[in-house]
Amino acid sequence: MIEGLIGKKIGMTQIFDEAGNVIPVTVIKAGPCTVIQKKTREKDGYEALQLGLVEEKTRKHPKKAETGHFKKSGSPVLKVLREVKYQGTEDIKEGDQLLVDMFEVGEKVQVTGLSKGKGFQGVMRRHGFAGGEAAHGSMFHRAPGSIGASSYPSRVIKGMKMAGRMGQDRISVKNLKIVQIDKENNLILVKGAIPGACGGLVLIKKGSFKAKNS
C-alpha cells in the first residue's frame, strides 16, 4: 500500500449533499506524482517511495547530481520531493505516475502542511493574553507582565510565553473525510479546513488516525 500523495491547496468552497445540507470543503490538487526512487529494506534499511510533484514549470538550472538522480526514472528535474511509506504489496517501479484515483470517496485522510506565517507578534495575539486595563495611566495595555522572579531563579524560565515569530509551523489535520474526487483534474475535496495558504504544499496520507493521548 502507498501511504500518500503530494498536493497543493487550491482554496475553500462549499457543496451540497443529497439532503441539501451545506458542506464546507477544501479543494486540493493532488498529484500527479512521479516515483523518482524506490527504497528497499535490503538496500536502504526501510521501504519508501520518493515522489516528485509534476508541475508545469520544472527546475531551470538543475545541478549535475540532480540531473543524474532524476535520469533513472526518466523524469525531468522536479522542484518538490517527498517520501511516503510503502509496503511492497504492489508492483511499483521508478518512473510510474501516481494519480488521485488511489483515494476513494468517503475515505479518511490526514493532511499535513505549513500554517500561514504571521511574522513577529505580541503576546496578546500569539498566546491569547488578555492584556491590562485600558484606563488612562494604566501603562499596561498590551504588555506581558512579569516574566520571572528577581531573587530566585534570577533568570527567564525556558518555555516562557513571550512575543516572537508566529505561524509557519508544520501542522497535521487528521481524519478529514473525502467528499468528492475529480479524476480528470486531479482534485480532491475534503470536508473542513487544512493548514496553509492557497497554493501551499501539502502531504495527503491515507487512513484514519487516532490522537496520541487517546
Domain boundaries, the chain: 4-118+170-206, 123-167
Helix segments in the chain, DSSP class H:
41-44, 64-71, 123-127
| CATH C-level class of 4-118+170-206 | mainly beta
Cell of 128: 491569547
Helix (H, G, I), strand (E, B) or coil at 66: helix
* Alpha-carbon gap, residue 55 to 38, rounded angstroms: 21
Q: Residue 177 and residue 76: Cα distance in Å, rounded?
A: 33
The pTM for the full model equals 0.81
Does residue 37 contact residue 73 with C-beta atoms inside 8 Å?
A: yes
**Residue-wise pLDDT tens for the chain (214 aa)?**
788 899 999 999 999 988 889 999 999 999 899 999 888 888 888 888 899 998 888 788 888 888 888 888 888 888 899 998 887 656 888 888 889 988 999 899 999 999 999 999 999 999 999 988 888 888 889 999 889 888 998 999 999 999 999 999 999 999 999 999 998 999 999 999 999 999 999 999 987 666 555 4
Q: How distant, in Å, are the alpha carbons of 101, 118, 204 from that of 161?
A: 45, 16, 32
Residue 64 one-letter amino acid: K
Q: Which residue has the cell 497535521?
A: 172
